[in-house]
Amino acid sequence: MSLRNPHRFLGHAWRSGQAICGFNVDSFDMAKGVIEGIEDAGVPSFLQLTPATLELWGWEAFAAGVMALIRETRVDIALHLDHATDVADIERAIAIGFSSVMFDGSTLDFAQNVRATRDIIARARPHQIFVEGEIGHVGRDGEIVAESLTSVSEAVEFSRMTGIGALAVAVGTRHGHIRGASDLQFDRIVAIREQVEVPLVLHGASRVPIPALQHAVTAGITKINMGTELRNIWWGALDRARGEKPRVALNRARTALRGYVANTLSQMSKPVVDDAQSFTNH
């Protein structure tokens, strides 16, 4: 069985200055393609589902299918509930058998975020569930709440007061929006990493060039989340298969995702040739 709590492999990556990727999926064929790509690369990773996806397909049924796929692999994979804002969703994921959850209290004020995150950790600890939190706010297109970059002082205090397992930070990327290397604030990552003793997570990493992501890892990022680019690849494969039977089109989308994930993990696993002169800081 390869469904794992990510504590060990994420901790190893953090201590050795390497990267772990988290891949967000919206359907079973996407999950299968991503899991196959992870196994092809042989690199421990996160498979990530949101509450909205689980509501659409049915929490227990969809999670059971995905966990069955994970258990067939030889590579450690954490099944992660991403961006949960409701305690009930966290509890449901724990009961189903998720090995990792993210409580997103980033739209709360600092004190509320701390209290809510500590409550989630207390609920997850008896079940040995890994917990990721967020300070600052990684926004998304069309969102009313303004983007708020993570300050070093709040990251330090949040980590100290919650005992969080991993910390998502807002350092220039944005959900659902394609950004380039110049949008990443590498100096901010370095400053946070120097004072925060837990793995840092970069959300909204789709289409950021691999060399820029490698530089972010050198600066202090340990976990990199990708979702938008997976959906772009999925839609592209379906468009090219228009008119085919649905099973044929979905299989092509699965195959495209498999190749993308395997290639991305392979590139991210290569030794980093870090050239800070190539990137622009804000």
Place of tokens 């004190």: 111
- In the structure encoding, which two tokens stand for residue 113, read together? 């975020």
3-state secondary structure of 140: strand
The answer, yes or no, to whether residue 182 has pLDDT greater than 60, is: no
- In the structure encoding, which two tokens stand for residue 242, read together? 């228009």
- Residues 227, 206: Cα–Cα separation, whole Å: 7
Interval 233-259 mean pLDDT: 97
| CA 202 to mean position of chain CA atoms | 7
Which residues fall within 8 angstroms of residue 189, CB to CB, at 6 or more apart?
169, 171, 200, 216, 219, 220, 221
- Banded model confidence at residue 282, pLDDT cuts 50, 70, 90: very low
- Tens-digit pLDDT profile for residues 37-68: 999 999 999 999 999 999 999 999 999 999 99
Is 82 annotated as catalytic?
yes
Identify the active-site residue in 26, 29, 40, 82. 82
- Tens-digit pLDDT profile for residues 79-121: 999 999 999 999 999 999 999 999 999 999 999 999 999 999 9
The answer, yes or no, to whether residue 272 has pLDDT greater than 60, is: yes
Domain 7-278: CATH architecture, name and number where available: Alpha-Beta Barrel (3.20)
pTM of this structure: 0.91
**Percent of the chain scoring above 90 in pLDDT:** 82
- Banded model confidence at residue 204, pLDDT cuts 50, 70, 90: confident
Distances (CA, A) of 68 to 3, 63, 229: 9, 8, 25
Higher pLDDT, 255 or 173: 255
- Residues 16, 13: Cα–Cα separation, whole Å: 5
- Residues 178, 227: Cα–Cα separation, whole Å: 11
Q: Are 147 and 176 in contact (CB under 8 A)?
A: no
Q: What is the pLDDT of residue 278?
A: 53
- Banded model confidence at residue 11, pLDDT cuts 50, 70, 90: very high
3-state secondary structure of 242: coil
Q: Are 175 and 203 in contact (CB under 8 A)?
A: yes
